[in-house]
Amino acid sequence: METFGERLKQLRKKMNGKGVTQDEMGKEIGIHPRHLGKYEAMGVMPNADALVKIAQYFNVSLDFLFFGKGDPMEEIKDRELLGKMKDLDKLDEEDRKVVGSLIDAYLKKKQFDEMMSK
């Protein structure tokens, strides 16, 4: 089963038909290249804010990034949720961290529940 890190690396290597480096991607989306390397190679999961930046950069759904489901070029269909995610930029840094932590916790719980049901 392909991991988040493997999907991220695959998307990055295929970007624009020629690929982009971690440095190029990091500068464009505001994530340190060292963090991108940890996401790809070490199984480290990004926070919610970083996940949204990555999904928007590649124009893929969060569902695809996490689970590899669906067409990777498919847009996020839940417009209400997408709008809420975009509104996060209007919050101050501390509030964004709180929202990100809540999302992280929920997603980890969901992933744990799915693993336990198998």
User: Does the pLDDT of residue 71 top 70, yes or no?
Assistant: no
pLDDT tens column, 79-103: 677 677 778 878 888 998 898 889 8
The whole-number pLDDT of residue 74 equals 47
The whole-number pLDDT of residue 59 equals 81
Residue 14 banded pLDDT, cuts 50, 70, 90: confident
The whole-number pLDDT of residue 75 equals 53
Decide: pTM greater than 0.85: no
pLDDT tens column, 22-70: 999 999 999 999 999 999 998 899 999 999 999 988 888 888 888 887 6
The whole-number pLDDT of residue 111 equals 87
Give CA torsion, residues 32, 45, 68, 72, to 10 deg: -20
- Domains assigned to the chain: 4-116 (1.10.260.40)
In 3D, which of 76, 37, 35, 46 has the Cα closest to residue 59?
Answer: 76
Distances (CA, A) of 11 to 20, 21, 22, 41: 9, 11, 11, 14
